[in-house]
Each structure stands twice: as C-alpha cells, then as structure tokens.
Chain A
Amino acid sequence: EVQLVQSGAEVKKPGESLKISCKGSGYSFTSYWIGWVRQMPGKGLEWMGIIYPGDSDTRYSPSFQGQVTISADKSISTAYLQWSSLKASDTAMYYCARYLNVLPRAFDYWGQGTLVTVSS
C-alpha cells in the first residue's frame, strides 16, 4: 500500500527554523517526484516545489523560490521542506504528494498534512 506519512504539527516563533518531513512507503521512492503544497487557513492549494529523490533534481514555484528549501534522503525514503527563518505568514497546512511526470502527471497519493503555526 502506497503511503506518505508526514511529521507532526509544529508551533514556532517568528525567526525560528523548521524542517518537516514526508516518508514514503509501499513504492519505489526514487522513481516518483515528491511535491509540496501549501494551504493557508481557509484558502486554496498552492504548489511550492517538487523533488525527484532519485537524483535530487528540484524545481520551485517562483513564489516560493528562496523562501524554502526542498530536499530528500533516498536512503530513508524521506523528503523534507525547510525554512531558515519563519514568518507569521508561513502559518498553514503543508501537504506532500507523489507525482509522476508521465501519466498520470498528477499528484496521486497525498500525505495527511503537517500544520505549521508561527506565532509570537
């Protein structure tokens, strides 16, 4: 069974750093891209970026380039999303999802989400 299991909810202060994780199982982790999607409270889905764990090829949305870092450790089938200095506006639910760049060219499996709250 394909599963993406994300790390737990986080409460941080502005200026702090954070790294959240997404562990894949039940499939070949290095053969699919892993994307990250932000959903701010009461708002829609925003694609942040994507990584291919097989060779760490990473692409970012222009809106998030330089704001976050996406990485992966294929030895433990885990992808990461990290911030070096959080802002209150980073408060959101963050989802990871599996993506294949041939059919279906869509996010077919999703993690359960990690809620990040940034507040002083």
Chain B
Amino acid sequence: ETGVTQTPRHLVMGMTNKKSLKCEQHLGHNAMYWYKQSAKKPLELMFVYNFKEQTENNSVPSRFSPECPNSSHLFLHLHTLQPEDSALYLCASSPSPRGSDTQYFGPGTRLTVL
C-alpha cells in the first residue's frame, strides 16, 4: 500500500526485555523517521535520518536506540522500557527531510510494556 512496512505489528514486552522494531521503505526515499503516537496526543517525532545519518534526536530517552544501516531500513532498539512507553510506534519516509515533502507512514507497531 504505502510502500512502508513495519514489523512486528504488535509487541508485548516486559520492562527488562530487549526487542527491536523494524521498518523498511520501498519508495527510494532518503529520509526516514520514527514517531510515537499516544492516544489523544499529537504525533511525537523521535528521530530523523537523512542518507543514513541521524539528523535529529528529539530528546528521546536512551532506552530507545535507533539504527539506520541504509536508506531503506530503519530499526528502533528497545531496552528496559517503562509502562508509559506503551504506544503505537510509526515509521515514515520522505524523499528528503524538507518540511514540505510528503511523509509516507507505515502501519505502526503497537507496543505494550508490562
């Protein structure tokens, strides 16, 4: 559909677990993003990558660790999360990080931290 896939779609983890979220875009874009979506709150931008280089870290706690091995793949490594980290995590991509470039979102990973 949108050309951006995310796995897994659902994840339940304990506070001491380590897990990773994966995002892949098939659109040939150069910019990729991680967002956190919580109920009744605006989408929160977490990280921005442009040509594999991190260009923005929006004061995200170190228990979230992004990795971008190439322009098509983006990972979010999770460790020692807190229950308040439970949310929908969305990956997006765009041709470039220009503010007016359309961002294409994946379906998200629904994360529950017990």
Q: Do A and B bind each other?
A: no
B contact residues vs A (CB 8 Å cutoff): none
A contact residues vs B (CB 8 Å cutoff): none
